[in-house]
Structure 1
Amino acid sequence: MYTMTSIRFSLWFPVLLGLGAFIFFSACDPREDYLTGDGINIRFEIDTLRFDTVFTELGSATQFFKIYNESDRAIQLDEIYVEGMTGVRFNINVDGIPGGVVEDAVIWNNDSIYVFVEVNIDPDAPLSASPFVVEDRLVVKTGNKERSVVLEAWGQNANYFPSRFNRGVPVVLSCDNATINWDSPLPYVIYGEIFIDECLLEVAAGTHIYVHGGIASNELLGTFNDGFLYTLANGRIHLAGTPDNPITMEGDRLEAAFADQPGQWLGLIIGRESRGNLVEYTTIKNAIFGVYADSAAEVTLRNVKIHTTAGSGLVGIHSEITASNCLIYDNAANAVQLTHGGNYQFDFCTVASYGVDASALAMTNFQCYNDDCSVNSLFPLNAQLTNCIFFGSRRDEIIIQDATDRQQAAFFNLDMNHCLVKVDELLTRNSVQYGDFFATYCLNCFNGDQNDALFLDRAVDDYHLDTLSVAQNRGISLPAFPLDLEGTPRDENPDIGCYERID
């Protein structure tokens, strides 16, 4: 039989016991010995946490790593959280404690804790919400110091080439002089550097190529801009787009803030002595440069758009480039840069350079190897440019540099015919060295003025011709090019540039 006193004691005993335990453990609580703030030193088990699953449907994956405390004192971490750089959701659990932000996590002396990270991927979500390469940071904050681990996942179902773990690693694509076809209906994501050797890479019409760039380093190349295709001497590439199914090469960051951001990847490089390269009905954008043809290389561009680059759109170094029906614009350097001579033929191309202190076309027949150019190399330049527009916001949109100062005509052979250009000081500087530009180099050309009607809407990069464009009906008929960039038939008095105006 229980008395009232015993009942009261039985009710209060657990409380008293818990209170006593609390007082006891509080008295022994070692938190006063925790090391906190900027003085904490920790070590991560890894620098990048990779989720190697490529999802074909909505799903999640979990990976983990350890944080080590190698000191002789317990430490307390202020915050652990995922920065949230993309729209993809990462969930974390720190030693059994879940949360968006985990605070005051303790690591005992010479011990470690586990950090579990879960990523949730919807491969059917728009690229802006679930990009091909998802990169975020898990941040550990102690005082004013932040340390981080890179989180890397794959947000879309795609062909990751050469692999999903290839950042900063050069890979040679070889097939014993046969052909490798990229013809999958899924897009291709270039993650690293691809060198093509003893092989033809044939890219099918309609293929979308995304290139993941950034800064990388390795023993072969040092520190460099990642993300490129490079044909070696015995390698070739054919981007075989069609009018109905063009090919696109661009950066893989397609959020609104990155859609028109240049410099996301390096570019397409036609390496030294690589011959037989062909690019048709292809758009190349978001790169540092669009196409770079190195010494003695050869490439043909047909119906190609190159735009939004951090450098030149098209570069030729002592190379051979044939371009027709091409549109090049929105470049941060000279839009077309032809250096150290070479052989070039451009027909019905539009090159626009606005808003930058750079020209639409720059040509030289030499290359310098030191700062004052006392060590240099000279090579003949042969350029035939017909029915092309070279225009922009500078007073001079054509730069000519002849190392022989016009004393050896064979080293600078420029033949421009029925082109629309913009030059001013070129005609008067250096003792009127090029005062005969329109009589000798640019026959039947039109020297435009900033106030001339030319393009339909340059503000939105619409380079179709205006209704009153000075480029209308000023070209010469070239039977080899009956259609313009969009397949519009040209008449017997064609317009200059890549677009034929339709009234």
Structure 2
Amino acid sequence: MRYLYGLAILSCLILWSSCRNDFETVASTGSLEFSKDTVYLDTIFSNIGSSTYNLKVYNRSDEDINIPTVRLAEGEASNYRLNVDGVPGKVFENVQILAKDSIFIFIETTFNVNNLPTNPKEFLYTDQLLFDSGGNEQKVELVTLVKDAVFLFPEKYPDGSYEAINLGTDDDPFLVKGFYLEDNELTFTNEKPYVIYGFAAVPSNKTLTVEAGARVHFHNLSGIIVEENGTLKTMGEKSNDPELMENEVIFEGDRLEPGFSDIPGQWYAIWLRSGSVNNEFKFTTIKNSTFGIRMENSPLSLKNVQIYNSTNIGLLAIHSAIDGENMVINNSGQSSLAIQLGGSYTFRHCTFANYWTEGFRSFPSVVIANYAEYFDGSSTVTEVHDLVAANFTNCIIYGNERREFGLLKDDQAIFNFKFENSLVHFEDPTGEFSNDPLYDFTNAALYPATKFNIDPVFQDTELNNFNIESGTSGADGIGKPGVLPTEDLNGTTRGNSQQDPPDAGAYESIEF
């Protein structure tokens, strides 16, 4: 296991030109035009190649022109790279552009922290792309934010293989590329971002503590695994600026370009393995993974947690125990919340939504089951466990499909659930579920004071903004007084009386 402190930047330059020698040209006169006068290359981490950025160079004149030189101001010492007609380099001569035509310049970089004389947390790295020289010289600025980071990754062996974790048994191994965190790596601070390659595993009888304001980034197919008797605690705190979220813990992918800010499936999951203990998440955002949290036979406390943009499931709980409050989960390729093989669950003032638009979705936002089916190699096996409780109080369950919750019961086990003072989206226009007692919405024992199919009027589902509008939201004023927490996800005090009841969901209503 190794530690690497690195810097990272984004920027790159591949230059594409229509370089030809079979037509007459005139020298450039400094009249080139550019699609940008400054190319801002977004932040990446040390030794991770950036995305490709482009610049277009126009020849607006009626004559074919020749640019004597196209080069980086820092020349061969520059960390930006150029490529002209497939030939790499940093200085090029006699680049030609036809009349009323243009060429593309693409920009990229990789930066090594060892190139720096000091080790700041972040700085701006700049260079210039120069066209021609002397009185005809024109330039385009190149600007990249460079960030320092802590890199955690599995060891690579001399034979080219990597350190691995066995998620199976000795007789039936299932190996994934990963490593166990050492004692000096079991606290993630907010001093520098962390970048994880492969799976970082919390060993048995150890606790990984992620401090308030920490940022944890994952490479493709990476994540955190918490082993039996291991513990994960993310100790975020309420932020002063809801946009900066400076005190929250954030888990996301390692591509920092704006175009990747909401792309699902960039990393795998936070995986709480069977028998992990005392797991706790406070003021935490998990985004752009395959599973946000995947847990098996484990306890978990969730307070002020947001999970967005999961290609599969936001929160998958298998025969587990969860106490959740002020949660929001949205934009999942399957379900935002999936409960399998029973367990015990309590959710208060949570918003489980699903407005997935990346493709077809065949699962409701919330699925609750006391069984699971799997193939054992020869036949399909059904495993059943008691659903001791699945209680939703002052919650919203909504989305862009007709039915946004599903109940899957096996009569061989207990199946206890209750939706109280909540807002639920479930349409049954053909009466398919009219004779199923699980969906008897007049049953006050199962659905006390719960409302159905009244638009919650979310502020902006595409931006994962699930504030609700005062006076028009179906969740406005339908909550049960006296249900903790007393403050919503924004820190606003909730109503707490029959005359001033709270709203359902993670947010108290506001004026848009």
Do both proteins adopt the same fold according to a TM-score greater than 0.5, normalized to the shorter chain?
yes
The answer to whether 1:419 aligns with 2:414 is no
In 1, Cα distance between the equivalents of 2:110 and 2:507? 47
Give the C-alpha shift of residue 481 in structure 1.
1.0
In the alignment, what sits opposite 2:223? 228
Give the number of equivalent residue pairs. 368
Q: Relative to structure 2, which stretch is displaced further, 369-378 or 385-394? A: 369-378
In the alignment, what sits opposite 1:494? 502
CA contact (8 A) 1:232 1:272 kept: yes
Larger fraction in helix: 1
Cα deviations across residues 180-218 of structure 1 (Å, max 9, x unaligned)? 3222511111122111112111111011111111xxxxx
CA contact (8 A) 2:317 2:338 kept: yes
CA change 1:369–1:460 in 2 (3 A) is closer
In 2, Cα distance between the equivalents of 1:84 and 1:398? 41
In 1, Cα distance between the equivalents of 2:155 and 2:466? 38
User: For residue 363 of structure 1, what is the amino acid of its counterpart?
Assistant: I
In 1, Cα distance between the equivalents of 2:342 and 2:213? 35
CA change 1:99–1:274 in 2 (3 A) is same
User: For residue 466 of structure 1, what is the amino acid of its counterpart?
Assistant: E
In the alignment, what sits opposite 1:185? 191
In 2, Cα distance between the equivalents of 1:361 and 1:343? 15
CA change 1:240–1:334 in 2 (3 A) is same
Give the C-alpha shift of residue 357 in structure 1.
3.7
In the alignment, what sits opposite 2:257? 255
Cα deviations across residues 391-449 of structure 1 (Å, max 9, x unaligned)? 01111111111122xxx6x6110121111001123993267113524414221100014
Other structure's SS at 2:313 match: coil
User: For residue 310 of structure 2, what is the amino acid of its counterpart?
Assistant: T
Stretches of structure 2 lacking an aligned partner (at least 5 in a row):
11-48, 54-77, 93-108, 114-120, 127-144, 157-161, 164-175, 240-246
Give the C-alpha shift of residue 340 in structure 1.
1.1
CA change 1:85–1:502 in 2 (3 A) is closer
| Match 2:473 to one of 469, 475, 487 | 469
In the alignment, what sits opposite 2:489? 485
Give the C-alpha shift of residue 456 in structure 1.
2.3
In the alignment, what sits opposite 2:105? none
Give the C-alpha shift of residue 57 in structure 1.
10
CA contact (8 A) 1:416 1:443 kept: yes
In the alignment, what sits opposite 1:238? 233
CA change 1:297–1:187 in 2 (3 A) is same
Give the C-alpha shift of residue 341 in structure 1.
0.8
In 2, Cα distance between the equivalents of 1:426 and 1:375? 34
Give the C-alpha shift of residue 164 in structure 1.
8.7
In the alignment, what sits opposite 2:209? 202
User: For residue 409 of structure 2, what is the amino acid of its counterpart?
Assistant: D
Q: How does 1:450-461 map to 2 (within 5 A)?
A: 452=455, 454-461=457-464
Q: How does 1:246-325 map to 2 (within 5 A)?
A: 246-294=248-296, 296-325=297-326
In 2, Cα distance between the equivalents of 1:364 and 1:479? 26
User: For residue 287 of structure 2, what is the amino acid of its counterpart?
Assistant: K
Other structure's SS at 2:416 match: strand
CA contact (8 A) 1:301 1:326 kept: yes
In the alignment, what sits opposite 1:377? 383
CA change 1:416–1:304 in 2 (3 A) is same
Give the C-alpha shift of residue 260 in structure 1.
1.0
Q: How does 1:57-68 map to 2 (within 5 A)?
A: none
In 1, Cα distance between the equivalents of 2:110 and 2:368? 51
Q: How does 1:389-428 map to 2 (within 5 A)?
A: 389-404=396-411, 411-425=414-428, 428=431
Q: How does 1:46-85 map to 2 (within 5 A)?
A: 54-55=6-7, 85=51
CA contact (8 A) 2:313 2:332 kept: yes
The answer to whether 1:341 aligns with 2:332 is no
In 2, Cα distance between the equivalents of 1:343 and 1:126? 50
In 2, Cα distance between the equivalents of 1:463 and 1:286? 18
In 2, Cα distance between the equivalents of 1:401 and 1:84? 46
In 2, Cα distance between the equivalents of 1:373 and 1:348? 41
Give the alignment's TM-score, normalised by structure 1: 0.66
CA contact (8 A) 1:270 1:298 kept: no
CA contact (8 A) 1:57 1:124 kept: no
Stretches of structure 1 lacking an aligned partner (at least 5 in a row):
1-51, 59-82, 103-117, 130-153, 214-225
User: For residue 228 of structure 2, what is the amino acid of its counterpart?
Assistant: A
Other structure's SS at 1:157 match: strand
Give the C-alpha shift of residue 55 in structure 1.
4.4
In 1, Cα distance between the equivalents of 2:255 and 2:50? 15
User: For residue 333 of structure 1, what is the amino acid of its counterpart?
Assistant: Q
Give the C-alpha shift of residue 91 in structure 1.
4.8
Q: Relative to structure 2, which stretch is displaced further, 250-259 or 352-361? A: 352-361
CA contact (8 A) 1:310 1:333 kept: yes
Cα deviations across residues 26-57 of structure 1 (Å, max 9, x unaligned)? xxxxxxxxxxxxxxxxxxxxxxxxxx883499
CA contact (8 A) 1:270 1:299 kept: no
Give the C-alpha shift of residue 121 in structure 1.
5.4
CA RMSD of aligned residues (A): 3.7
Give the C-alpha shift of residue 256 in structure 1.
2.6
Give the alignment's TM-score, normalised by structure 2: 0.65
Give the C-alpha shift of residue 173 in structure 1.
2.2
Highest RCO, 1 vs 2 (Cα 8 Å, sep ≥ 6): 2
In 1, Cα distance between the equivalents of 2:293 and 2:208? 16
CA contact (8 A) 2:153 2:178 kept: no
User: For residue 54 of structure 1, what is the amino acid of its counterpart?
Assistant: G
In the alignment, what sits opposite 2:368? 363
Other structure's SS at 1:158 match: strand
Other structure's SS at 1:443 match: coil
Give the C-alpha shift of residue 253 in structure 1.
0.7
In 2, Cα distance between the equivalents of 1:273 and 1:302? 21
Cα deviations across residues 347-387 of structure 1 (Å, max 9, x unaligned)? 10001112444311001111112399852111011211111
User: For residue 412 of structure 1, what is the amino acid of its counterpart?
Assistant: F
In the alignment, what sits opposite 2:89? 99
CA change 1:297–1:92 in 2 (3 A) is same
User: For residue 276 of structure 1, what is the amino acid of its counterpart?
Assistant: N
In 1, Cα distance between the equivalents of 2:460 and 2:7? 42
In 1, Cα distance between the equivalents of 2:234 and 2:50? 37
- Higher alpha-carbon Rg: 1
Give the C-alpha shift of residue 124 in structure 1.
3.9
User: For residue 309 of structure 1, what is the amino acid of its counterpart?
Assistant: S
In the alignment, what sits opposite 2:129? none
In the alignment, what sits opposite 1:159? 150
